[in-house]
Homo-oligomer: A and B are copies of this chain.
Amino acid sequence: MAIVNGNYANLKESYLFADIANKVAAYAKANQDKKIIRMGIGDVTLPLAPVVVEAMAKAVAEMGVKETFRGYGPEQGYDFLREAIAAYYQSFGVSVDAKEIFVSDGAKSDCGNITDIFSNANTILIPDPVYPVYLDTNIMCGRKVIYMEGNPENGFLPMPPKDVKADIIYLCSPNNPTGAVYTKEQLEAWVAYAKANDSVILYDAAYESFVVDPTVPRSIFAIEGAKDCAIELCSMSKTAGFTGTRCGYTVVPLGLVRKNEDGVEMNLNKMWLRRQTTKFNGVPYITQRGAEAAFSPEGVKQCKEMVAYYLENARILVEAFNKLGFTFFGGVHSPYIWLQCPNGLGSWEFFDLLLEKFAIVGTPGVGFGKCGEGYFRLTGFGSHEDTIEAVNRLVEGFGK
């Protein structure tokens, strides 16, 4: 008798985006003359960079010719891409060996799959508010999850707890959904905590390319000692607009070891290699050529222009909220603005107000965890024109 994984019964269904879609659809039907501006979007909107398109077109053509056709590639990615990613890290001063880099179809997959190499006996420390994947993937394994509270006092950047010994810690900086960014000193404190407790930090750096201040770390491996206690998950989704093209990478230090249930030390780089060679078959050759192009000098330049476009949208929002005297977080090294709902409104109350009064759609903060109640996520992923129009509506409406 086949038995299914009962932990799935403990997952909460999220109706967040479905609820938003329903409310927006009802509003649109009742207000056909109004132009709705969508600022809740967590997806890129600009097309792929020209060098990426060119490289993928060439790769597609290669696949159609016997002499240049490629079959199975290495599960961990072609060397040409692993080396390009290592060089990219080097460009902002972080040394990563190509053998530490595992190319994948995206950070979401790796974030889910990385649970495989750890015992289910671990206690997991997760910030609240949070990207829901951290939580759900651990509920699926039946693991104990502890939350650390993000709040205005800590700037939505929780620091190591004094009284809790967590085994696995999820950090995301620049943060989704809050846009908050850890400083070097703060990450040093996390590395010190992880080393003291033999914990492992799973560091989500998906938004690293939005960091504009060179003193702000773009990688956990910018911190001394991190290679003894951290794995980094990164994505090309936001760096190069690859949300629909699918490529990410995970860095597992060559020397990272932890014990198993029997006290036997095991190497995590080797374990992840085994996981990926057994349960994964690599990223499409075509995608890998596109990714390689994105990390070329011209590719980096073109992708930076895309990121700058989104950051300018965020700046426009920041300027408006400063003018209105609203409290918010993020918006500088991040496409996300985490707004404290004005006048003490709850997340959904503010959602309704924004939709009904301004025809603007955002994301209720409570959708990212209970500490998100009373907050609201807006993003810079729309167009300049829409962002400016949204800001004009808000400044006019709230500025009175």
Residues of A within 8 A of B (CB): 1-6, 8-9, 11, 43-48, 50, 52-53, 56-57, 60-61, 63-66, 68-73, 105-106, 108-109, 111-113, 116-119, 121-122, 133, 136-137, 140, 165, 167-168, 197-200, 241, 243-246, 258-262, 264, 266, 268, 271, 274-275, 278-287
Among candidates B1, B60, B137, B258, residue contacting A53 with C-beta atoms closer than 8 Å: B60
A9 with B112: CB separation less than 8 A: no
A233 shortest CB reach to chain B, Å: 13
A218 shortest CB reach to chain B, Å: 22
- Name the residue in A118, A281, A287 with the highest tally of chain B Cβ atoms < 10 Å from its Cβ: A281
B72 with A47: CB separation less than 8 A: no
B244 with A70: CB separation less than 8 A: yes
A122 shortest CB reach to chain B, Å: 6
10 contacts between A and B (CB under 8 A): A2-B122, A4-B258, A8-B117, A8-B266, A9-B264, A43-B71, A70-B244, A111-B279, A286-B286, A286-B287
A46 with B60: CB separation less than 8 A: no
List chain B residues, Cβ under 8 A from A168.
2
- Name the residue in A8, A43, A140 with the highest tally of chain B Cβ atoms < 10 Å from its Cβ: A8
A387 shortest CB reach to chain B, Å: 16
List chain B residues, Cβ under 8 A from A199.
1-2
List chain B residues, Cβ under 8 A from A271.
4-5, 8
A278 with B137: CB separation less than 8 A: yes
A148 shortest CB reach to chain B, Å: 17
Among candidates B108, B245, B259, B284, residue contacting A63 with C-beta atoms closer than 8 Å: B245
A3 with B64: CB separation less than 8 A: no
Given contacts A2-B199, A2-B258, A56-B286, 15 further A-B contacts (CB under 8 A): A4-B118, A5-B116, A5-B117, A6-B266, A43-B71, A44-B71, A48-B64, A53-B63, A57-B57, A60-B60, A72-B243, A108-B280, A109-B281, A140-B278, A246-B281
List chain B residues, Cβ under 8 A from A108.
279-281
Known: A48-B64, A244-B71. A119 touches B275 (CB 8 A): no
B61 with A45: CB separation less than 8 A: no
A71 shortest CB reach to chain B, Å: 4
Known: A2-B200, A167-B2, A279-B112. A284 touches B9 (CB 8 A): no
Known: A280-B108, A281-B109. A266 touches B4 (CB 8 A): yes
List chain B residues, Cβ under 8 A from A122.
2-3
Q: Which 9 A-B pairs have the closest CB atoms?
A: A112-B279, A6-B260, A53-B64, A43-B71, A3-B119, A1-B198, A47-B69, A2-B200, A70-B244
Among candidates B46, B64, B264, residue contacting A6 with C-beta atoms closer than 8 Å: B264
List chain B residues, Cβ under 8 A from A60.
53, 56-57, 60, 286
List chain B residues, Cβ under 8 A from A1.
165, 167, 197-199, 258-259
A112 to B47, CA, bound (A): 33
A78 shortest CB reach to chain B, Å: 10
B4 with A244: CB separation less than 8 A: no
B48 with A63: CB separation less than 8 A: yes
A156 to B266, CA, bound (A): 37
B286 with A245: CB separation less than 8 A: yes
B244 with A112: CB separation less than 8 A: no
A243 to B43, CA, bound (A): 29
List chain B residues, Cβ under 8 A from A69.
45-48, 241, 244
A274 to B116, CA, bound (A): 17
List chain B residues, Cβ under 8 A from A280.
105, 108-109, 112
Among candidates B65, B72, B264, residue contacting A43 with C-beta atoms closer than 8 Å: B72
